[in-house]
Structure 1
Amino acid sequence: DLLASQEKGAGNEIQLTDSMLKLMATQEFHALEYEGITYDCGDKIGLLRANVALALAHPELGAAARSAIEDLLKL
């Protein structure tokens, strides 16, 4: 419900943190501190970077993904 009524914020995007703040005002809220790589999937290049990184790290697809990317870089 909160996201459906959330107005756009920074970057003209719906900011999840704005809805999270509203949620915290009405109920108990839990979070996890995360230390790792993050990707801005609200940005086209960020989404591309996330997909490439996950493909390269995939145990079954990683080698083939790397080969495909290397082939594309030769174009």
Structure 2
Amino acid sequence: MAKNQHHPKWTKDQLALAIEEVKNGAAKRRTAEKYGIPWGTFSDKLSGRRQLQDKPKTVLSEEEEAEIINFLKEC
């Protein structure tokens, strides 16, 4: 792993809780501070500019991956 990679100190679950609190009327900045989420990140997630992603988008479909695996097994 590269030395300069940044790992957030908050989790997706915390982000989801924070967003839910704001939807229920909590102050945005105070909620971001409470969960340790940077304001810019939290603001982007709230506005929809950046979506929550469970996993990165794949380049190959599952079928293409299976074809490559089968091809490599035959070699």
TM-score when normalising by structure 2:
0.28
TM-score when normalising by structure 1:
0.28
Relative contact order higher in (CA < 8 Å, ≥ 6 apart):
2
Larger Rg over CA atoms: 2
